[in-house]
Copies of this chain bind each other. A is one copy, B any other.
Amino acid sequence: MLLDAAREAAAEAVGCRPDELTFTSSGTRAVHTGIAGALAGRRRVGRHLIVSAVEHSSVLHAAELFEAAGGTVTQVPVDRAGRVQPSAYGDALRADTALACLQSANHEVGTEQPVAEAAEACRAAGVPLLVDAAQSLGWGPVEGDWSLLTASAHKWGGPSGVGLLVVRKGVRFAPQGPVDERESGRAAGFENIPAIVAAAASLRAVRAEAAAEAVRLRELTERIRARVPGLVPDAEVVGDPARRLPGVVTFSCLYVDGEALLHELDREGFSVSSGSSCTSSTLTPSHVLRAMGVLSEGNVRVSLPAGVAEEEVERFLEVLPRVVAGVREKLGAPASEAVVREADALVVDSLGKRCPIPVIELAKVIGDVPVGGLVRVLSDDEAARLDIPAWCEMRNQEYVGEEPADQGTAYLIRRAT
């Protein structure tokens, strides 16, 4: 009875029938089960999958596995705001497309996606669209005629260990892996009843406050968006300025080590995230920032929890300029002996140096060549591939391109101003 009541409450919040909704053990599990089941259900149609380039890693991991098993995957690109073109999903559809996946909003930069348009194009072609609604379900139902939907309770402030998978009636779905009689054969194992009940109750509670809290948080994140560029020199706010989640704001700071910045902010009592390469175990920048083509160094993602006090945001804005300046000072003057003049280009040897050093060294020497002159930065840091072009765009310099070097990669920049 508790499970039935929780299912009804969650289905009402999603806007689906209770028997279309199953509880899984996490949002990741909902995504994996949903994608595998939908692809298998339409195996006869074909083995083509469409995803956006900025989906959550759980979607991209499922896509990688599908590709490794012989499927074909189309990644739909995004603009500099992190948004897919509304027409892009329609354009990517093929006769053998089994499934398309699109997030409702991005988890790193908060940009909302044109889900309703993508769903309409998919529906017209008879292709199911799976919407990863992890970021937005607490704020409201997902609009449009989607076919499958996934979400995660801890993202709306509920407990860990509960995900949602919704499969609309009429969608072909063949669950993969061993199943039992629980959750329509879509989530095997003993149901985590206490957590499921808490998940449904918290979704209902969060939704009751959502409209008012969205207005309040949107004003606070707008404050950060508007004031950071003035408070912090060489900072770039990323993500769509209008079509975005209420509580997320992301920006990047040139010449800053993301790891050090997070550490210093943590000492000041602020827990933020980062998509910078130096804060990830793989030493590569976030795939989202990469797909957007924006600066990844010194990247900071601020997620305001519901109920956060205005004073906390003001204190963050007060502390931030000092913290960034401190980190920049510590990175200090780069080794100038790394710079040699070669043919008609100034060569900066940043081999073995990690983000943000290559960009700092580039910035230091660009004034040393005449307008029209070339700088050649040698780097073996993967982040440089993203951050040097992004720096050029921010600084109105011309990014010429890259070429393989004896070690690492050479990036060519022409001084334009």
Contacts and interface: CB of A to CB of B under 8 A. Distances in A.
B58 A178 contact: yes
A189 interface: yes
Interface in A168-190: 177-181, 188-190
Nearest to A64: B178
Contacts of A163: 189
Contacts of A190: 26-28, 152, 154, 160
Nearest to A195: B161
A29 interface: yes
Contacts of A192: 26, 159-161
How many chain A residues sit at the interface, stated as a range, is: 20 to 34
A180 B29 contact: no
Nearest to A30: B189
A154 B190 CA distance: 9
Contacts of A48: none
A25 interface: yes
Contacts of A191: 160
A195 B36 CA distance: 27
A308 interface: no
A78 B216 CA distance: 65
Contacts of A32: 177-178, 188
Interface in A231-288: 281-282
Interface of A: 25-29, 32, 36, 57-58, 61-62, 64-65, 152, 154, 159-161, 163, 177-181, 188-195, 281-282
